[in-house]
Structure 1
Amino acid sequence: MKQSIFEKIFQLSESGTTVKREILAGSVSYFTIVYIIVVNSMILAEAGIPLDGAIIATILLSAVSCLLMGFWANVPIILVPGMGINALFAYTMVGSMGLSWQAALAAVFVSGLIFVFVAFSPFSKVLSDSIPNSLKEGITVGLGLFLMFLGLEKGGLITKGETSMIALGNLGNPDVIVTVLTLLIALVLFIRNIQGSFLITIIAGCIIAFLFGTIDFSELSFGGMDPGAYKEVFFSMSFMELGKFEFWIAVFSLTMVIIFENIGLVHGHVNSIKRPERYQKAFRATGVSVLLSGVFGSSPTVATVETAAGVASGGRTGFTSVVTGLLFLLSMLFIPVIKIIPDSAIAPILIIIGILMLENIKHLDFSDLSESIPAIMIIAMIPFTYSIADGMAVGFVLYPFLKVMLGKAKQVSIVMYSIAALFLVYFVFQVLG
């Protein structure tokens, strides 16, 4: 009877899979991506969101989003808050632009509304086709470099220099030693393709930190977590800063990143399971998930790269995502453990994810400098300005400028000219204060 229910909902036979295989794939996906609970929560906490609330928000949003993707789109795509985008939320929207975290959540909600409009209309194809691939790749690589920078900084491997902007950290510091040892373990596990390598890295990092005296397990208290903190986070969006120019720049930048990143990821995942006809529903489910992100109290979700782990383990239907979502709900039992994990255990994961995103630079066409130079400027300016929005703006303004100056104005779409104009206005307002 159960088999017939699963078959009716997920069409397992049609996809050439079984209940056992989907459960295994969902479990693998979970252990591959579970690190996001720790990493995302700590980044959200740096934006001012209470840590307990950030942890619960990350867990609930990930669980609901995976269930949504599984039941609605019937694909094994895992939706969780995206790395890089959470950095945009915390360090650019809140840190650089000066928005409150409540206003930043409102910006996430508005971006989600735009995403849903795009996903449920033909405009998604128009928008995707209007932005040059070189700039899309530049954004991905720039985010990767930014995550590497954050990881190196959090782990103490780089610090503010006395005679330079940055310098090598104190290698004799116990926290830095723990980071280095954990990073070496993380690299070996990842390169050897060990399932759940990031989770193992976090556990190993905590043990090493304990041995070096940089973490105190006596602080572990299963009664210390405050579930009431989530009341401050859930549906805490504030639209009081709606009239600020920074708010709309945040919305614009966030929307650009989440739409283009998800277009590429969703396309890749549905093609990997040879189900391109499911793209539309999957993309729409992603849009609704982004909309829910602001409500739950988190930075936006993305169709994760780690989805590939579940697919490689045999996942072919939404049942895989449902299993992953249910396992996320069980994570609520381990919140007290999550809270004591040190930066030295998280930094190596940020570094490795950043490295993986850097590989997209191979897709740039260096034979055409009018294509590659704007992308390279995005890659450089995102980490160097410590602002994803500023880095994107430089490349998007430079691209049409170079094309016009080289007599290639017709290669730039009207939509691209419009986007460049908006970013140019953004810079003008910065100059005018």
Structure 2
Amino acid sequence: MGKIKIFDRNQTGFSVKTEIIAGLTSFFAISYILIVNPMILKDAGMPVAITFFATAISSALGCLIMALFADAPVVLTPGMGVNAFFTYTLVTGMHLTWQQALTISLFSGIVYVIVAFTKLSRILSDKIPLNLKKGITVGIGLFLVELGLEKAEIIKSGGSRSLLSFGSITDPATIVAFIGIVICLFLMVKRVPGDFLIGIIITTVIAKLLGVKSSNATTVSINDIGQFTHALFQFDFNHFFNTKFLIAVFSMSMILIFESMGLLEGLLTDPRKFQKSFQASSMTALLSAGLSTSPTVAAAESASGIQSGGKTGLTALTSGIMFAVSIFVAPLIAMIPQAAISPVIIITGALMMKELANIKMAALDDWFPAFLIITLIPLTGSISTGLEFGFIAYPLVKIFAKKTDELNPAIVTVSILFLLNLILSATI
């Protein structure tokens, strides 16, 4: 009997060492989610001990499913933006309990799975115009740049004078971030294997020498896992199928389906892996509700591992193993300062913005919807908001330009759904 091949090793440039390094790079780039997600869900009334383990375990399972089912180098974690919707819209805004919010996540996950495992996913993917797809990639890239600059404290709130302002060049964290950018760029130009991972390690050492402390301190330990095991499947069906419940499920389903589709379209270098990656993402989103966390999506930071050479599921598997290990070494991971992670996020975002060159710029009706996506994703801090306005604008400008022949039922339907989602979201 021949050896069973789990990962496609026939891809150009494949090497086990590169895949593992890529997986480690992706993990460290997104590792902040282990701290940030529990902090956001804490505002929903969920104990930090529960949500820390839920974040780590759902991410580990998601990466495992992505690796073995889709053979794709994409990390799945509870999504930034989705967790904010969970906490600040469902719980704070709609006055639901976190158990009821988990129930909404459960049904949204079911809708997501149905779309992913039917022809709907392929129809939506094939019929989305190329300019919108490229706009999603560039918008996510710009969002990552902004996120990285904020983590490095290179930019900060401008207060009443401007939206953003430059940080202090004398701030040790900012200095460390600039040094990290230089180190990562040098390693990339020299084509050093594991450039990003090496950059994170060196920058972390420099940060410690300069006295830069991590803001990710956590008191969670493995001894708290008992709280997590007693919080599984905490669903509450008291508001089952009333108007508020249906609107919330619809809104979250739209966010999950189209944000995930946009992320995967932007991340995957091999379009053949989209279908199974989308399905893997849907399964993990469904599982996350039972694990007591907000839904998982593809992490935009996966691009850092892909840029480091990750091509197969071995990259995702490596990240998944690291998430599993993090359950036992949470305080150690929390020691890595944001200033050491931010250079990787900034450079990764910049690399994704290369897709600007592939956006047709000759006619306004071609580039304006993509422009809305590109600008609104970082400016609102919400991928779904950028998608809403870009997709709503697309059929409008085509009608204005008398180019209705470039429209198809799928894009029109999606645009209408985004419009309904925008309206309904404003009413809840």
TM-score range, shorter chain: 0.7 to 0.9
Aligned to 1:364: 359
Tell me the CA shift for residue 324 of structure 1: 5.9
Per-residue CA deviations over 1:123-158 (Å, capped at 9, x if unaligned) read 222111232221222222212212221221222111
Give the AA of the match of 1:38: S
Equivalent pair of 2:81/2:381 in contact (CA under 8 Å): no
Change (3 A) 1:175 1:431: same
1:141 is aligned to 2:138? yes
In the TM superposition, 1:17-28 aligns within 5 A as 24=17, 26-28=19-21
2:75 aligned counterpart, secondary structure: strand
Note if contact 2:59-2:76 (Cα within 8 Å) is conserved in structure 1.
yes
AA partner of residue 385 (structure 1) = T
| Alpha-carbon distance between aligned partners in 2 of 1:156 and 1:47, rounded to the nearest angstrom | 20
Change (3 A) 1:255 1:427: closer
* Residues 169/370 of structure 1: CA separation in 2 closer, same or farther (3 Å cut): same
**Are 1:257 and 2:255 an aligned pair?**
no
Q: 1:359 to 1:294 in 2, by over 3 A?
A: farther
Task: Tell me the residue number matched to 1:300.
Answer: 296
Number of matched residues? 409
Given the alignment, which residue of 400, 406, 427 partners 1:411?
406
Matched ranges for 1:180-199 at <5 A? 180-199=178-197
CA distance in 2, matches of 1:88, 1:351: 19
CA contact (8 A) 2:264 2:277 kept: no
Matches within 5 A, 1:28-427: 28-36=21-29, 38-49=31-42, 53=50, 55-73=52-70, 75=71, 77-81=72-76, 86-91=79-84, 94-95=87-88, 98=92, 102=98, 108-161=105-158, 162-215=160-213, 226-228=224-226, 230-231=228-229, 234-235=232-233, 243=244, 245=247, 248-262=250-264, 265=267, 268-269=269-270, 281=276, 283-296=278-291, 297=293, 299-302=295-298, 304-305=302-303, 308=306, 325-326=320-321, 328-427=323-422
Residue type at the aligned position of 2:149: L
**2:121 partner amino acid:** S
Find the aligned partners of 2:237 and 2:161 in 1 and give their Cα distance.
43
Mind listing any 5+ residue stretches in structure 2 that lack a counterpart? none
Is the Cα contact below 8 Å between 1:215 and 1:342 reproduced in 2? yes
Gaps of 5+ in 1: none
Structure 1 residues 340 and 104, CA gap change in structure 2 (3 angstroms): farther
Q: Secondary structure at the match of 1:194?
A: coil
Q: 1:101 to 1:396 in 2, by over 3 A?
A: farther
Go from structure 1 to structure 2 and tell me whether the alpha carbon gap of 1:375 and 1:320 turns closer, same or farther (over 3 Å shift).
Answer: closer
| 3-state SS of 1:87 partner | coil
Please report how far the alpha carbon of residue 110 of structure 1 lies from its aligned counterpart in structure 2 after TM superposition: 3.9
Q: Does the 8 Å CA contact 1:89/1:104 hold for their aligned counterparts?
A: no
Alpha-carbon RMSD across the aligned residues, in angstroms, is 3.9
Could you say if the C-alpha distance between residues 45 and 150 of structure 1 is closer, same or farther in structure 2, counting changes exceeding 3 Å? farther
TM-score (norm 2): 0.78
CA distance in structure 2 between the aligned counterparts of 1:124 and 1:216, rounded to whole angstroms: 41
Q: Secondary structure at the match of 2:140?
A: helix
2:420, 2:219 → 1: CA distance? 51
Distance in 2, Cα, partners of 1:239 & 1:326: 34
**How many angstroms apart in 1 are the aligned matches of 2:238 and 2:130?**
36
Query: How far apart are residue 285 of structure 1 and its match?
Result: 3.4
What per-residue deviation string (whole Å, max 9, x for no partner) do you get for residues 97-117 of structure 1?
Answer: 756894665555444323322
Judged with a 3 Å threshold, the aligned counterparts in structure 2 of structure 1 residues 216 and 40 are, in CA distance, closer, same or farther, namely closer
Q: 1:23 to 1:200 in 2, by over 3 A?
A: closer
Partners of 1:96 and 1:9 in 2: how far apart? 46
Contact 2:303 / 2:348 at 8 angstroms: preserved in 1? Answer: no
TM (norm. structure 1) is 0.77
In the TM superposition, residue 413 of structure 1 has moved relative to its aligned partner by 1.9
* Cα distance in 2 between the residues matched to 1:184 and 1:238: 51
Q: CA deviation at 1:337?
A: 0.4
Retained in 1: the 8 A contact 2:304–2:344?
Answer: no
341-350 vs 282-291, which deviates more?
282-291
The one-letter code matched in structure 2 to 1:44 is N
